């Protein structure tokens, strides 16, 4: 009964979405206040219906209702309750419903937090969101209904993929989807602005916090996924350039470009067309990502059992969204006009360079991701494009981006003086160079690429600090230093914090890619293996019992220079309901390094108490990678709460 | 005049940038693409000798052998028509199992063994890498064709003898 209620609620929500996507838009076009006013209540009802529908599916999981196909495929009575709830988005249908839930909440958030927005604009934004939601709901209802019944029901479900039975999976998809879907808000603002024909500073100011919010979620979601892959897949890697990773990374790159070009559009009225195009691209790439993941056209760790009709539906949807948006853009763009003029060296020109480089890097990732598809479609054979391609192309493009990150905050809008910038940053550059030369030498081995990474990271760190404190002391007056620090505009503090996050991320990448050590060895109980000064003594393996699995748990003593540090207990699990074994790595995490042990297989399968194949890692600075991402997100979060975005009077339309 | 110079500098910079990126991309694509080659094609000598490539198929039942060092594993990837012996040093992904699909990337050694640098994991026991599925399917189609031809030949023979 309850699954049927959920299904009906979903059908009703599609009807409401259609209403939301048509009447307010027509009303805004023809100037009918009654139709415009419909946008707010329709959004409320829509969010309510989708939330109710999602709760119905969750209930079916919690109550073990195996007469619902989706539940029977992804749950099991032995599954602990927290995984029964996260299993709601453990498969295709449910994750789409989660996507929809996020989208309805974003729409609700726009409706609640945009009191300063003119009604017509709000109607257009919500209407655009409604249309997109309607498309997705059709997709869910016609190709991926999570409420489909299995009659007669079965007594026991197939269980959730063991890989997904992990706290990481509880939060990774929701964060990622919040990011993906969040770009639909930036997109809706861009479309609304195109429809109204008013692309002005006010539009940019309204879009900025939403774009940043989506970016924050996407950053956290990607970092979370990367961390999960690191500890759960047992390969010790943190990024594989897997097509699905790329699918989330491309909107991130474009989203980053969008945040920066929005800054120029708001402050100086520059790059309006470009900004709109980026907003359209960011959301289109989110859709493309969905297509790549859901259609199963690519070999990927994320591939679900696939259904070609789904792929075709998303492709049509993608073409419709991109096609109409670009048509609208082509129609309106010529009348938008250019913003203020700017010099060859200016904040604008630096932001533009940053944008071009980010877009180019995204294009290279897109090319590498789609190239195998293209070759296959042309009948030229099946190929794969590996991580070396991405490393070889992506890294050189990012180097100037990181370098400019240090300079841009010093450049004035409109016209900056190069000698002035040089004077401001020369000591930062010198200090960064010293660090870059010293650190690899202290660490033992000179590696030019590592030194370059450290140079750029230190450069960003020093210039950010310098710029921040220059401004703090310039605006200090009679106040204490700390008071001045905290009275800086949130967007300024947030920007520097996010940039420092990038620097920390770069340190992590540079250090771990050079100085990590990995050993695959055969170990008998009592044997010791050494990696980078750490000794791992294998004490043997014993059987342990989990709620829905049986595991072989290894015990290792980790020590350094004869001093015992701790025990490490990696596991090899066998889940009752599936034949797939699962590796649970044991990690001793730390600020300066992680050490990591995972169990391979027993050398002789009949003697699990004997010798095992074991993999041990030493990973310096690896946690800086995710730490950097968290700091980036924190910076974004702070920037979102800048007073400027909330100030009612200013938001009206004062041109910068 | 001055703004024209500015424009020229911008355009020149943009062209240079595009050129550098294109060179990077082409170079990287050229050296980092791995072709998929089916076990049958490898057996027929159609595989490149010097380059990395990928093979896909089923891990043959009973073929996984662990070498004395404990971390070198030898197994056979088959498309049911041809078998390729594969060597891999390291720890195999969890779902690597006999009778299941697998994809390996590496080089062909002169003795005909495939030296794998990477064995691809799949993360769902019911999921088959498309390349492995393709190789099996192609071999199956060829097998059916051959069978049909043989049957046709058999059917034709008695007629001829009459």
| Residues in A 300-329 with any Cβ partner in B closer than 8 A | 301-305
ipTM > 0.90, yes or no: no
When comparing pLDDT for A141 and A200, which is higher? A141
Res B159: pLDDT: 45
The number of CA neighbours under 13 Å toward the Cβ of B64 is: 19
Whether residue B25 lies within 8 A of chain A, CB to CB, comes out as yes
SS3 of chain B: CHHHHHHHHHHHHHHHHHHHHHHHHHHHHHHHEEEECCHHHHHCCCCCCCCCEEEEEEECCCCCEECCCCCEEEEEEECCCCEEEEEEECCCCCCCCCCCEEEEEEEECCCCCEEEEEEECCCCCCCCCHHHHHHHHHHHHHHHHHHHHHHHHHHHHHHHHC
Gap between the Cα atoms of B13 and B16, Å rounded: 5
Residues in chain B, how many? 162
User: Which of chain A's residues have a Cβ under 8 Å away from the Cβ of B24?
Assistant: 364, 392-393, 396-397
Contact A615 B6 (CB under 8 A): no
CA distance A272 to A265: 6
Q: What pLDDT was estimated at residue A386?
A: 80
Size of interface A-B (CB pairs under 8 A): 119
Beta bridge partners of residue A566, listed in sequence order = A558
pLDDT band at B130 (very low <50, low <70, confident <90, very high): low
Look at A379 and A283; give whichever has higher pLDDT. A283
- Summarize the confidence of residues A324-333 as an average pLDDT: 91
Whether B32 sits inside 8 A of A386 (CB atoms) is yes
Q: What is the CA radius of gyration of chain A?
A: 27
- Which chain A residues in 480-499 lie under 8 Å from chain B, judged by CB atoms? none
Q: Is the per-residue pLDDT at B157 higher than 70?
A: no
Find all residues with CB under 8 Å of A184, minimum gap 6, and list them.
A103, A106, A129, A132, A283, A286
Task: Work out the minimum CA distance from A358 to partner chain B, whole angstroms.
Answer: 12
Q: Are A433 and A372 in contact (CB under 8 A)?
A: no
A636 in reach of chain B (CB within 8 A): no
> For residue A478, is pLDDT > 90?
no
Window 238-267 of A, Cβ < 8 Å to B = none
Cβ B33–A522 below 8 Å, yes or no?
no
Q: Nearest residue of B to residue A361 by CA position?
A: B21
Please, which residues have CB within 8 angstroms of residue A296's CB and are 6 or more apart in sequence? A303, A304, A305, A306, A307, A308, A311, B130
Is the bond preceding A152 in cis, omega lying within 30 degrees of 0?
Answer: yes
Surface of A (351-390) touching B: CB under 8 A: 356, 360, 364, 367-368, 371, 381-386, 388-389
Is the pLDDT at A303 greater than 60? The verdict is no
Q: Which residue has the tokens 């890294």?
A: A395
Residue B125: predicted pLDDT: 53
A95 has a pLDDT exceeding 50: yes
Of the candidates A235, A215, A178, A226, which has an alpha carbon nearest to the alpha carbon of residue A624? A226
At A652 the pLDDT is 41
Q: Is the CB of A388 less than 8 angstroms away from the CB of B28?
A: yes
Helix (H, G, I), strand (E, B) or coil at A157: coil
Query: CB within 8 A of A4, min separation 6: which ones?
Result: A147
Reference A251, options A218, A223, A273, A299; nearest CA is A218
Residues near A15 by beta carbon (within 8 Å), at least 6 away in sequence: none
Does residue B160 surpass a pLDDT of 50?
A: no
Angle between helices A490-515 and A387-407 (to 10 degrees): 140
In angstroms, the separation between the Cα of residue B150 and the nearest Cα of chain A is 29
**Chain B residues closer than 8 Å to A397 by CB:** 21, 24
- CB–CB contact A521 B71 (8 Å): yes
Q: Which of A305, A383, A583 sits opposite B94 (nearest CB)?
A: A583
B9 vs A302, A344, A581: nearest CB:
A344
Output the pLDDT for position A144: 87
User: Is the confidence at residue A74, as pLDDT, over 60?
Assistant: yes
3-state class (DSSP) for residue B4: helix
Please state whether beta strands B33-36 and B53-59 pair in parallel, antiparallel, or not at all (unpaired): parallel
| Model confidence band, residue A328 (pLDDT cutoffs 50, 70, 90) | very high
pLDDT at residue A36 greater than cutoff 80: yes
Strand partners, A205: none
Name every chain A residue with its beta carbon within 8 A of the beta carbon of B87: none
Contacts of A431 (CB under 8 A, 6+ apart): A458, A462
**Phi, psi dihedral angles at A445 (to 5 degrees):** -130, 130
Please answer yes or no on whether B66 and A615 come within 8 Å at the CB atom. Answer: no
Crossing angle of helices A92-113 and A167-196, rounded to 10°: 50
Q: Which of A304, A370, A601 to mutate to test the interface with B (most CBs of B within 10 A)?
A: A601
The DSSP 8-state label assigned to residue A606 in this structure reads T
Please indicate whether, in this complex, the C-beta atoms of B131 and A600 are within 8 angstroms of each other: no
Residue A234 pLDDT grade (very low, low, confident, very high; cuts 50, 70, 90):
low
Phi-psi region of A324 (alpha: psi -120 to 50; beta: other; left: phi over 0): alpha
Cβ atoms of A502 and A517 within 8 Å: the answer is no
Give φ, ψ of A540 to 5 degrees.
110, 180
The answer to whether the CB atoms of A393 and B28 lie below 8 A apart is: yes
Picking from B21, B29, B71, the nearest residue to A397 by CB comes out as B21
Closest approach of chain B CAs to the CA of A388, in angstroms? 6
Among A233, A371, A615, beta carbon nearest to B29 = A371
Residue A177, CA distances (Å) to A88, A107, A228, A628, B92 in order: 14, 14, 16, 21, 31
List CB contacts of A144: < 8 A, sequence separation 6 or more. Answer: A92, A93, A96, A310
The rounded distance, in Å, linking the Cα atoms of A155 and A153 is: 7
Please report which helix (H) or strand (E) contains residue B137, including its range.
helix B130-161
Spell out which residues of chain A touch residue B106, defining contact as CB-CB under 8 Å: none
Phi, psi of B65 (to 5 degrees): -125, 130
> Do A385 and B32 lie within an 8 Å CB cutoff?
yes
pLDDT at A321: 93
Q: How far apart are CA B71 and CA A475, in angstroms?
A: 63
What the block records as the tokens of A297 is: 């056209």
CA–CA separation, A580 and A549 (whole Å): 11
- CB contact residues (below 8 A), chain B span 131-160, against chain A: 131, 134
Whether the predicted pLDDT of B149 surpasses 90: no
Q: Is A577 left (phi over 0), alpha (psi -120 to 50) or beta?
A: alpha
What pLDDT sits at residue A647?
A: 62
Cβ–Cβ < 8 Å for A50, A134 = no
CA distance A107 to A41: 11
B148 Cβ neighbours under 8 A, 6+ residues apart: none
Q: Does residue A549 sit in helix, strand or coil? A: strand
- Three-state DSSP state, A587: strand
Residue A271, phi then psi, degrees to nearest 5: 50, 35
Q: Which residues of A314-325 are buried (b: 16+ CB within 10 A; e: fewer)?
A: beebbeebbeeb
So what's the pLDDT on residue A306?
56
Q: Is some CB atom of chain A closer than 8 A to the CB atom of B29?
A: yes
Cα dihedral A182, A183, A186, A190 sign: negative
pLDDT in tens, A128-161: 999 999 999 999 999 889 999 988 888 888 888 7
Q: What is the DSSP secondary-structure string of A550-619?
A: EEEEEEEEEEETTEEEEEE--EEEEETTSS-EEEE-EEE--SSEEEEEEEEEESSTT-TTS-EEEEEEEE
Q: What was the pLDDT predicted at A539? A: 92
Residue B55 distance to chain A (closest CA, Å) = 10
**Contact indicator for A246, A369 with CB cutoff of 8 Å:** yes
pLDDT at B1 exceeding the cut of 80: no
Q: Which helix (H) or strand (E) holds A627?
A: helix A622-640
DSSP state of B65: E
**Cα distance between residue A655 and residue A648, in whole Å:** 14
CB B112 within 8 A of CB B118: no
Of the candidates A233, A304, A393, the beta carbon closest to that of B24 is on: A393
- Cα separation, B28 vs B10, whole angstroms: 27
* pLDDT score recorded for residue B161: 39
Rounded mean pLDDT of A29-56?
95
Q: Is residue A216's pLDDT more than 90?
A: yes
Q: What is the reported pTM?
A: 0.90
Closest CA in chain B for residue A579: B125
Output the pLDDT for position A251. 96
Distance CA B156, CA A251 (A): 62
Across chain A, mean pLDDT equals: 89
How far the first Cα of chain A sits from its last, in Å, is 57
* Count of beta carbons in the 10 Å neighbourhood of residue A273: 18
CB atoms within 10 A of CB A64: 17
Rounded distance between C-alpha atoms, residue B132 and residue B147, angstroms: 22
B-chain residue closest to A300, CA distance: B122
* Least reliable range by pLDDT among A123-137, A236-250, A367-381, A588-602: A367-381
For residue B33, the chain A residues in CB contact (below 8 A) are: 371, 383-386, 389
Q: Which of A528, A567, A454, A495 is nearest to A347 (CA)?
A: A495
Burial of A13 (0-12, 13-18, 19+ CB in 10 A): buried
Contacts of B97 in chain A (CB under 8 A): 579
pLDDT in tens, A535-567: 999 998 999 998 888 899 999 999 998 899 999
Give the integer Cα–Cα distance in Å for A92 and A619.
34
Using a CB-CB distance cutoff of 8 angstroms, which residues of chain A are in contact with residue B94? 234, 580-583
| Residue B124: band (very low, low, confident or very high) from pLDDT cuts 50, 70, 90 | low
Question: Which B-chain residues 77-106 have CB contacts (< 8 A) with chain A?
Answer: 89-95, 97, 103, 105
Closest CA of chain B from A381, distance in Å: 7
Higher pLDDT, A403 or B96: A403
Cα–Cα distance for residue pair A226/A181, rounded to 1 Å: 19
Compute how many other C-beta atoms are within 10 angstroms of the C-beta atom of residue B58.
Answer: 23
Q: Which residues contact A430 (CB under 8 A, 6 or more apart)?
A: none
Lookup: tokens for A442:
């202290």
Q: Which of B124, B65, B70 is nearest to B93 (CA)?
A: B124
Q: For chain A, what percent of residues have pLDDT higher than 70?
A: 96
DSSP string, A27-84: HHHHT-HHHHHTHHHHHHHHHHHHHHHHHHHHHHHHTT-TTBHHHHHH--TTS-HHHH
pLDDT of residue A59: 96
- Cβ distance of B89 and A299 shorter than 8 Å: no
A179 pLDDT higher than 90: yes
């Amino acid at each position: 009964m309850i699954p049927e209620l959920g299904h009906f609620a979903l059908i009703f929500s599609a009807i409401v979405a259609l209403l939301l996507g048509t009447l307010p838009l027509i009303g805004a076009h023809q100037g009918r206040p009654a139709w415009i006013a419909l946008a707010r209540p329709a959004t409320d009802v829509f969010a309510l219906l989708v939330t109710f529908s999602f709760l119905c599916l969750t209930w079916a999981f919690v109550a073990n209702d195996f007469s619902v196909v989706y539940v029977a495929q992804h749950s099991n009575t032995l599954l602990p309750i927290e995984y029964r709830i996260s299993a709601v988005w453990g498969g295709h249908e449910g994750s789409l419903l989660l996507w929809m839930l996020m989208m309805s909440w974003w729409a609700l958030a726009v409706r609640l937090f945009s009191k300063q927005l003119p009604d017509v604009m709000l109607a257009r934004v919500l209407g655009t969101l409604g249309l997109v939601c309607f498309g997705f709901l059709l997709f869910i209802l016609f190709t991926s209904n999570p409420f489909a019944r299995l009659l007669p029901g079965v007594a026991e479900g197939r269980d959730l993929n063991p890989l997904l039975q992990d706290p990481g999976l509880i939060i990774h998809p929701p964060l990622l989807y919040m990011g993906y879907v969040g770009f639909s808000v930036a997109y809706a603002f861009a479309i609304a602005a195109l429809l109204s024909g008013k692309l002005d500073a006010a539009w940019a100011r309204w879009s900025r916090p939403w774009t940043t919010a989506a970016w924050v979620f996407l950053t956290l979601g990607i970092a979370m996924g990367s961390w999960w892959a690191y500890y759960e897949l047992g390969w010790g890697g943190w990024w594989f350039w897997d097509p699905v990773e790329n699918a989330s990374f491309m909107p991130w790159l474009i989203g980053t470009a969008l945040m920066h070009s929005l800054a120029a559009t708001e402050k100086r009225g520059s790059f309006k067309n470009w900004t709109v195009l980026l907003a359209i691209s960011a959301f289109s790439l989110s859709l493309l990502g969905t297509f790549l993941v859901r259609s199963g056209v690519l070999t990927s760790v994320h591939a679900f059992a696939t259904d070609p009709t789904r792929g075709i539906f998303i492709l049509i949807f993608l073409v419709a969204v991109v096609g109409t948006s670009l048509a609208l853009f082509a129609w309106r763009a010529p009348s938008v006009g250019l913003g203020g003029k700017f010099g060859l060296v200016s904040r604008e020109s630096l932001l533009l360079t940053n944008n071009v480089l980010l877009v180019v890097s995204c294009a290279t990732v897109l090319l590498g991701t789609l190239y195998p598809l293209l070759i296959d479609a042309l009948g030229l054979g099946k190929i794969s494009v590996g991580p070396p391609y991405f490393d070889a192309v992506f890294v050189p493009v990012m180097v100037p981006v990181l370098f400019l990150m240090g300079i841009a905050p010093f450049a004035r809008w409109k016209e900056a003086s190069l000698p002035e910038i040089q004077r401001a940053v020369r000591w930062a550059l010198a200090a960064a160079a010293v660090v870059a030369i010293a650190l690899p030498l202290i660490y033992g081995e000179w590696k030019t690429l590592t030194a370059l990474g450290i140079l750029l990271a230190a450069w960003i760190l020093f210039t950010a600090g310098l710029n921040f404190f220059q401004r703090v002391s310039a605006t200090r007056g009679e106040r204490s230093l700390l008071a001045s620090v905290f009275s800086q505009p949130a967007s300024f503090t947030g920007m520097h914090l996010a940039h420092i996050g990038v620097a920390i991320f770069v340190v992590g990448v540079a250090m771990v890619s050079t100085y990590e050590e990995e050993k695959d060895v055969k170990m008998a109980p009592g044997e010791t293996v050494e990696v980078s000064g750490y000794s791992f003594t294998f004490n043997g393996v014993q059987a342990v019992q989990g709620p829905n699995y049986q595991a072989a748990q290894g015990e290792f003593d980790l020590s350094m220079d004869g001093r015992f540090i701790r025990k490490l207990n990696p596991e090899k699990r066998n889940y009752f309901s599936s034949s797939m074994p699962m590796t649970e790595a044991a990690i001793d995490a730390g600020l300066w390094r992680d050490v990591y042990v995972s169990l391979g297989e027993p050398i002789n399968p009949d003697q699990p108490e004997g010798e095992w194949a074991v993999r041990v890692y030493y990973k310096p600075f690896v946690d800086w990678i995710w730490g950097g991402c968290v700091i980036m997100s924190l910076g974004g979060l702070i920037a979102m709460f800048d007073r400027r975005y909330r100030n009612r009077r200013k938001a009206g339309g004062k041109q910068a | 005049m001055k703004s024209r110079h500015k424009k020229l500098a911008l355009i020149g910079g943009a062209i240079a940038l595009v050129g550098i990126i294109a060179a990077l991309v082409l170079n990287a694509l050229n050296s980092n693409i791995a072709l998929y080659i089916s076990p049958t094609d490898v057996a027929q000598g159609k595989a490149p000798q010097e380059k990395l490539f990928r093979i896909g198929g089923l891990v043959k039942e009973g073929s996984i052998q662990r070498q004395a060092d404990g971390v070198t594993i030898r197994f056979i990837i088959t498309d049911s028509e041809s078998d390729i012996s594969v060597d891999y040093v390291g720890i195999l992904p969890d779902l690597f199992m006999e009778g299941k699909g697998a994809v390996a990337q590496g080089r062909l050694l002169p003795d005909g063994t495939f030296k794998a640098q990477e064995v691809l994991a799949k993360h769902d026991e019911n999921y088959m890498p498309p390349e492995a599925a393709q190789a099996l399917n192609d071999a199956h189609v060829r097998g059916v064709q051959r069978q049909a031809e043989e049957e046709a030949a058999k059917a034709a023979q008695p007629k001829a003898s009459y």
